[in-house]
Homo-oligomer: A and B are copies of this chain.
Amino acid sequence: MSEKKEAILKGIEDKTIKIGIIGLGYVGLPLAIAFLRSGYRVFGFEVDREKRELLDRGRSYVADVADDELAQAVESGAFTSTDNSRVLRECNAIIICVPTPLDKFGKPDMTYIENACKEVGENLSAGTLVSLESTTYPTTTEEFMLPIIEGESQLKEGADFWVCYSPERVDPGNQHFRTHNTPKIVAGLGIDAQEVALALYGQAVESVYPVSSPRVAEMAKILENTYRLVNISLINEMALLSGRMGIDIWEVIEAAKSKPYGFQPFYPGPGIGGHCIPLDPFYLEYVAKKYSFDLTMIHTAGHINMMMPHRMTIKINSALNRHQKSINGSKIIFMGVAYKPNVADSRESPAIKIMDEIADKGGKVKFHDSYVPSIKTPKLGVQNSVELSSQLLSEQDCVVIATRHSNLDIGFVLENSRLVVDLANAVPVGTDTVYKL
């Protein structure tokens, strides 16, 4: 066994290694907590000053992480957040948890990974494990990440340091499966990297799932999210057709669920939001072009998803039309702008896209969301959530239920509204005044 490998394995075992986590979002922060619980010293690298200030005061901005636990780790000195990449030199294990968004033309934006890799390369000590957790296209670890780190550090993977890919699987708001109890795919670049990576992650999570190469792990993560994108898009298309045929898609799905094998239900909605499902598959579609390959399923699913907010605007228009009203001049309030129920995240939320289109057509738009105090949209700018009241509701021409948080009082909404467009199956049956997706 090489000396370096022996050293890091021993350091993992006796918890003397220091762990650096780059990016303290909904992935990095819970992961930091998982390592802190196991007794490691953790440095968190975060460029956002506001987040660092919150962390310094022991305040969590991620729903899956409790203030108490965080505050204790900060107070004890086990956890420090910083934006100083030179601190990476002290770390024996570095885990990259930065975002992989799409740019405004829908192409992968790799600058976060690129910058993180540069910082790691510039500050890499020999004998360190570097792990990437960001969801990205297959071959990223080997063909994108590795050359940057080796180039910047002038160190050699396998001999001087190790690289692995271990995709995050965080499902924000999931009450049962958290970072520590969701099986973790781990793929070292070689046998040594795999051994070190499995040893490290084995300390933070209950079960690890080793695979033979980073590209297998990269593809597995994208397959998981592509499966969801494709199936939600399918059910959204079926919902639109069902609407035209006078068929209640929600009843259809419940009936199909009675099949005890070979079926998994997905539910329609105003479109797919969040930071994973609407983005990740397009990383794969993008890299496929390099192999002269068209991923037609992802392309078609993406098209359906892209059109959903517009189609919902048409539904709202049709509902108003039955009351002899136009969008132009109507007062329309949205209930729920988070991308899914019971989370505070409104990134990529279809509700916001619909609000902007409604505003663009002359509608007077407000929103209420008990989780999301304010949003910023391209058209409307900054908007704050308004308080629900019977008077407010009764003044609206249309109430759109876009995301149904558990704490929304549907009965109150129905009692006080003239017209409801229900995009979230909040109301069991459609009526003259309730239009269901």
A residues neighboring B (CB under 8 Å): 138-139, 169, 171, 174, 176-177, 182-183, 185, 209, 211-213, 215-217, 219-221, 223-224, 226-228, 230-231, 233-234, 237-238, 240-242, 244-249, 251-253, 255-256, 258-264, 284, 288, 291-293, 295-297, 299-301, 303-304
Contacts and interface: CB of A to CB of B under 8 A. Distances in A.
6 closest pairs, A vs B, by CB?
A: A220-B255, A209-B258, A300-B300, A183-B258, A264-B264, A244-B291
B304 A297 contact: yes
Contacts of A234: 226-227, 230, 297
A181 B284 CA distance: 41
A431 to B, nearest CB: 15
Nearest to A212: B251
Nearest to A303: B296
Contacts of A304: 296-297
A297 B240 CA distance: 13
A212 B249 CA distance: 12
A375 B244 CA distance: 43
B171 A261 contact: yes
A288 B251 contact: no
B233 A297 contact: yes
A221, A227, A304, most chain B CB atoms within 10 A: A227
A110 B65 CA distance: 58
Contact of A263 (B219, B227, B284, B300): B227
Contacts of A183: 258-260
Contact of A171 (B209, B216, B258, B262): B262
Contacts of A253: 220, 223
* Interface residues of A, dominant DSSP: helix
Contact of A216 (B213, B220, B240, B251): B251
A388 to B, nearest CB: 32
Given A177-B260, A260-B177, A296 B300 contact: yes
Contacts of A299: 300
Given A215-B246, A216-B251, A223-B238, A228 B296 contact: no
A296 B169 contact: no
A223 B211 contact: no
A237 to B, nearest CB: 5
A241 B223 CA distance: 12
B293 A256 contact: no
Contacts of A293: 240-241, 244
Contacts of A261: 171, 174, 176-177
A185, A223, A237, most chain B CB atoms within 10 A: A223
Nearest to A244: B291
28 contacts: A138-B245, A139-B245, A176-B261, A177-B260, A182-B259, A183-B259, A209-B255, A211-B255, A215-B247, A216-B251, A217-B255, A219-B242, A219-B252, A220-B253, A220-B255, A220-B256, A227-B231, A227-B234, A230-B234, A231-B231, A237-B295, A237-B297, A240-B293, A241-B288, A296-B300, A296-B303, A296-B304, A297-B300
Contacts of A297: 230, 233-234, 237, 297, 300-301, 304
Contacts of A209: 255, 258
A101 B263 CA distance: 23
A228 B234 CA distance: 11
A216 B233 CA distance: 20
